Chains A and B, each alone.
Chain A
Amino acid sequence: MASAKVFVLRTCDGETFEIDESVAYVSETIKNMIEDGFGHDLIPLPNVSSKILLKVIEYCRKHVSNFESSKKTSNGDEKDKDNDSWKKEKEAVPEVEKDAEEKARVEELKEWETTFIDIDQQVLFDLLQAANYLNIKGLLVMAAEKAASMIRGKTPEQIRETFNIKNDFTPEEYEDIRKKDAMNDFTPEEYEEIRKKIADNHFTPEEYEQIRKENAWAIE
């Protein structure tokens, strides 16, 4: 097990957290700070709130304990204690032997992950930012993938709704984007013409958006 060394992190809202060295080292940023000699006092994290740091620490602890238990079930290579092992485990899953214990561990990890990342949007994004700042690759990948899954398959309007984003394009800008959209396969002149023709059809903005995606640019 890791040494008994303990570090203290302080968040932007003044709270302090104590963590083991092994847990602290999951974050490349913190690791670098410690190695540069800043570990004796509090390690300040002005960009991270306590709520988020709690989640981060939860992840780091799980990462460490998972790594420890995988060492026991596998051949025990110590070679990487860093964040890549998180990813490598995922890739290595198909090649894992039918070792019941190992399988169970992986299974449990997946479940834990799913629960862990099932959080509010705001928390997810703050976590994503924190993972980036603290340079915790596995967490960054997990959170970013979750955020991407919330975008995938949606129309722009649906994305705006999901994330409560304001449409701040000017009409000209928006028109320009539509014109140059890769889904739009008409020349600018044809585009103008067709726009007028489609004006005939009394679409609402949502329908227009919907129909654009469904190949409504075809001329009858």
Chain B
Amino acid sequence: MTTLNFSHRPIFPANPSEENLVSSIRIANGYVVEGISDKNGDGFGKPRRFNWEIEDSYDCRRERDDRGGPREPVSNDILDILPSDPFGMDISATFTAITGWIEDMEADSEKYVRDDTGDMKGDYQFVAGLNFIWNRAMRFQAEPGSAGVAERSNPVGRVDGCVEEKEFADGSCDGGFLSVCNVEEFLSFGDDDYCAASRPSDDTHEAAESCPPGEGEGEGEAPHDAVSFALRYLGVQDLLSAEKVCRTLCSAVQNDPLLWMNIHIDQPLSERIIDDALIRLTNRAQGNLQSLSLVECSRITDDGVKRVLETNPRLKKLSVPGCTRLSVAGIVSNLKAFKSSGAPGIKQLRIGGLYGVTNDHYEELKLLLGLENCQQPRAYKARFYHNGGHLSPCCDDDRAIDIEMCPRCQNLRLVYDCPSEICQAKQGASQLCRACTLCIARCVQCGRCINDSEYEETFCLDLLCSSCWKQLLNCPERQEEKGVPSSKHTVFHQETRYHFRLYG
């Protein structure tokens, strides 16, 4: 961290240029005091109101001017240099916190070029930044010593980290991201290194930073050439992680179309991915995308699918189970357009989980898939219900379309066979135990029908047949996954602990 220099420096210009935004902030103790007392509770929109001076070099070894407060020996530790309260104003909570933030803002803006895509006016950001900082400061003053302020706005509730104890040039992290020390650190004014105290104990990473170093540690080297061989065996999520490792891998991931010919998107990316991101990923195939599988990607729209189809004429397989924003009508029209654009067309379609499929839709889809007017041949292997019905790509079979007409309700849905030997022996050719899950409830684990037999309902409202339930009771780890409720069934195993986990 930098030091504070309390010498008299010229007040920053009234209209800071874009380049000099934050470096022109000057902090002077006396004026700060005025500023605070005058504007208690207000947001400070105009930079000119504050006359702050700060040291705008990264040299940690500047001596302090004798503005009051003890002269500390020169050290890297900001706490040694900060005055505790030279004017008896009890402003430790606000002043030091704010100067810390502004120093970091300054360091960031000087160090990092403005983003290409940043369309914010320099002034706006400067003012917004200051507003932001002053609003925080005011909240701080209102609640002195409240260490919890930062925590409140933390979505994950972990606020105990701080800037690393490195050279300041490295201290700001993550691509221009503002990174400031925990305010508690300023409040505490401990003798030891202020960063060490609240370094998170959950420290699976080393102290090596994840932010772009530029001038960094000089650790590490370029990846071995052979690492790129391994990329072929990685899924999308891991490829995206590898992309952020270094330039070589980034280039390998982004520019090798072979890695992107079969894209399968699953948790956790499925929750977050939006149309634009999907297009960016599919474009990496450079027109050679063969299969696209989007499992429960609830943010993808029909327009997104349309754009993917437009740029990937070789697409053969499209699988969109559980993508709730997609409509059957949209799929039909997209496939129609796809076909008429001259592409060979989709040969396999997976839309299980899309609701409202009418017979007309079904007929059109069969036509588009090349099935004409015949039913799909019944030679396909049996499909069993398992884990919510979403088949992983490797378990998928060759049928052109996954949904069919349920023999019982005549709706177009996913239809499951029954793995139970009893059912298979009983029905034989007539296959009575074959229907959608609305008609025949099934165990989520084994897929057996649960008609009159005993079953249990899990926390996630899935059904388990009695034998799967018993198996689950014998296996504590799996109970967590299945959402076993803690309230019942203590009679079975009194020693077994029950956990359940909410799926966010």
Contact (Cβ within 8 A) A166 B242: no
Given contacts A196-B132, A205-B210, A207-B158, contact A166 B219 (CB under 8 A): yes
Contacts of B225 in A (CB 8 A): 125, 129
Given contacts A163-B224, A165-B220, A165-B246, contact A206 B229 (CB under 8 A): no
Q: Which of A7-15, A31-39, A70-78, A146-154 contacts B (4 or more CB under 8 A)?
A: A146-154
Q: Which of B147-155, B376-384, B451-459 contacts A (4 or more CB under 8 A)?
A: B147-155
Contacts of B153 in A (CB 8 A): 197, 200-201, 220
Say which residue of B150, B161, B206, B238 sits within 8 Å of A207 (CB atoms): B161
Say which residue of B155, B177, B246 sits within 8 Å of A218 (CB atoms): B155
Contact (Cβ within 8 A) B206 A165: no
**Any chain B CB within 8 A of the CB of A62?**
no
Secondary structure at chain B's binding surface: helix, strand, loop or mixed? loop
Nearest Cβ on chain A to B132's Cβ, whole angstroms: 6
Contact (Cβ within 8 A) A185 B504: no
Within 8 A of B (CB), among A179-212: 179-185, 188-189, 192, 195-209, 211
**Any chain B CB within 8 A of the CB of A140?**
yes
**Any chain A CB within 8 A of the CB of B221?**
yes
Nearest Cβ on chain B to A203's Cβ, whole angstroms: 6
Contact (Cβ within 8 A) A157 B205: yes
Q: Which of B81-89, B107-115, B481-489 contacts A (4 or more CB under 8 A)?
A: B107-115
Given contacts A163-B227, A220-B155, contact A202 B233 (CB under 8 A): no
Contacts of A181 in B (CB 8 A): 240, 244, 277
Question: Complex Cα distance A173/B162, Å?
Answer: 24
Contact (Cβ within 8 A) A169 B159: no
Question: Complex Cα distance A129/B223, Å?
Answer: 13
Say which residue of A144, A158, A180, A192 sits within 8 Å of B232 (CB atoms): A144
**Any chain A CB within 8 A of the CB of B425?**
no
Within 8 A of B (CB), among A131-153: 132, 140, 143-145, 147-148, 150-153
Contact (Cβ within 8 A) A145 B222: no
Nearest Cβ on chain B to A71's Cβ, whole angstroms: 30
Secondary structure at chain A's binding surface: helix, strand, loop or mixed? helix
Say which residue of A124, A140, A156, A179 sits within 8 Å of B210 (CB atoms): A156
Contacts of B245 in A (CB 8 A): 156, 159-160, 165, 167
**Any chain B CB within 8 A of the CB of A119?**
no
Q: Which of B21-29, B31-39, B268-276, B442-450 contacts A (4 or more CB under 8 A)?
A: B268-276
**Any chain B CB within 8 A of the CB of A94?**
no
Among B136, B208, B240, B274, max chain A CB count under 10 A is at B208
Contact (Cβ within 8 A) A171 B183: no
**Any chain A CB within 8 A of the CB of B68?**
no
Question: Complex Cα distance A157/B210, Å?
Answer: 6
The chain A residue with its CB closest to the CB of B149 is: A200
**Any chain A CB within 8 A of the CB of B403?**
no
Given contacts A172-B113, A183-B272, contact A126 B226 (CB under 8 A): yes
Given contacts A185-B272, A192-B120, contact A206 B205 (CB under 8 A): yes
The chain A residue with its CB closest to the CB of B230 is: A147
**Any chain A CB within 8 A of the CB of B306?**
no
**Any chain A CB within 8 A of the CB of B397?**
no
Question: Complex Cα distance A211/B442, Å?
Answer: 37
Contacts of B249 in A (CB 8 A): 165
Contacts of A215 in B (CB 8 A): 268, 271-272, 504
The chain A residue with its CB closest to the CB of B112 is: A171
**Any chain B CB within 8 A of the CB of A216?**
yes
Question: Complex Cα distance A147/B504, Å?
Answer: 32
- The number of chain B residues with a CB under 8 A from chain A is 90
**Any chain A CB within 8 A of the CB of B421?**
no
**Any chain A CB within 8 A of the CB of B180?**
yes
**Any chain B CB within 8 A of the CB of A155?**
yes
Contact (Cβ within 8 A) B277 A125: no
The chain A residue with its CB closest to the CB of B240 is: A182
**Any chain A CB within 8 A of the CB of B176?**
yes
The chain A residue with its CB closest to the CB of B273 is: A182
Nearest Cβ on chain B to A157's Cβ, whole angstroms: 4
Question: Complex Cα distance A128/B231, Å?
Answer: 13
Contact (Cβ within 8 A) B213 A125: no
Contact (Cβ within 8 A) B211 A174: yes
Contacts of A204 in B (CB 8 A): 161-164, 173, 179, 199-200
Say which residue of B120, B203, B208, B247 sits within 8 Å of A169 (CB atoms): B247
Nearest Cβ on chain B to A189's Cβ, whole angstroms: 7
**Any chain A CB within 8 A of the CB of B128?**
yes
Contacts of A201 in B (CB 8 A): 150, 153-154, 159
Among B120, B175, B213, max chain A CB count under 10 A is at B175
Contacts of A165 in B (CB 8 A): 220-223, 245-246, 249
**Any chain A CB within 8 A of the CB of B116?**
yes
Contact (Cβ within 8 A) A185 B274: yes
Contact (Cβ within 8 A) A154 B241: yes
Nearest Cβ on chain A to B240's Cβ, whole angstroms: 6
Say which residue of A129, A161, A177 sits within 8 Å of B244 (CB atoms): A177
Contact (Cβ within 8 A) B177 A185: no
Question: Complex Cα distance A194/B136, Å?
Answer: 16
Say which residue of B113, B115, B117, B164 sits within 8 Å of A205 (CB atoms): B164
Contacts of B234 in A (CB 8 A): 148, 151-152
Contacts of B319 in A (CB 8 A): none
Say which residue of A147, A195, A198 sits within 8 Å of B226 (CB atoms): A147
Contact (Cβ within 8 A) B230 A199: no
**Any chain A CB within 8 A of the CB of B441?**
no
Given contacts A126-B226, A182-B273, contact A192 B118 (CB under 8 A): yes
Say which residue of A166, A180, A213 sits within 8 Å of B280 (CB atoms): A180
Contact (Cβ within 8 A) A168 B247: yes
Question: Complex Cα distance A174/B236, Å?
Answer: 19
Contact (Cβ within 8 A) A151 B273: no
Pairs A-B, 4 closest by C-beta atoms: A199-B178, A166-B220, A204-B161, A175-B175
Offer 18 A-B interface pairs, CB within 8 angstroms, sorted by A.
Answer: A132-B226, A148-B238, A167-B213, A169-B212, A169-B247, A171-B111, A173-B247, A178-B244, A179-B117, A182-B272, A183-B273, A183-B277, A196-B128, A197-B153, A200-B136, A202-B183, A203-B158, A204-B164
Q: A126-B226, A169-B212, A216-B156 are in contact. List 13 more A-B contacts (CB 8 A).
A: A144-B232, A148-B238, A153-B238, A157-B210, A160-B220, A160-B246, A165-B223, A175-B112, A175-B176, A184-B272, A184-B277, A205-B174, A208-B179
